[in-house]
Structure 1
Amino acid sequence: MRWWKIAGLAGLAGVAATGVVIAREQRRRRAYTPDEIRERLHARLAESADNSATGDR
């Protein structure tokens, strides 16, 4: 029965680690202002338009 406890603790640690990673990513995503997001999207659009016009991938 001891290995069940170890498996349970390992599962719990995995769930906790996943939660930490998700929370960190959400914090990073919320750190941008709407204007910064808009600027980044416009820059990515311009870059993709340039690449498609030249035939690069």
Structure 2
Amino acid sequence: MRWWKLLGLAGFVGVAATGVVVARAERRRRAYTPEEIRSRLRERITEPSGSDS
């Protein structure tokens, strides 16, 4: 029965770690100003794509 407890604890730690990663990525994404997002999108549109060859 003890290994069930360890498995449950490992699952809980995994879920918590995933939540931290998602929250950090969301914070980084929201840090951009609207003008920065527009300029990055324009750069993506104007750069040549490698799939045409």
Question: Fold-level match, TM-score > 0.5?
Answer: yes
Unaligned runs of 5+ in 2: none
The alignment partner of 1:32 has SS state of: coil
Q: If the length of structure 1 is used for normalisation, what is the TM-score?
A: 0.84
The whole-number CA distance in structure 1 between the counterparts of 2:26 and 2:6 is: 30
Q: Which residue of 1 aligns with 2:43?
A: 43
Q: If the length of structure 2 is used for normalisation, what is the TM-score?
A: 0.91
> Partner amino acid for 1:29?
R
User: Which contiguous aligned blocks of 4+ residues in structure 1 show a shift greater than 4 angstroms?
Assistant: none
Unaligned runs of 5+ in 1: none
How many residue pairs end up in the alignment? 50
Between the two structures, name the one with larger relative contact order (CA 8 Å, sep ≥ 6): 1
| 1:29 has 2:32 as partner | no
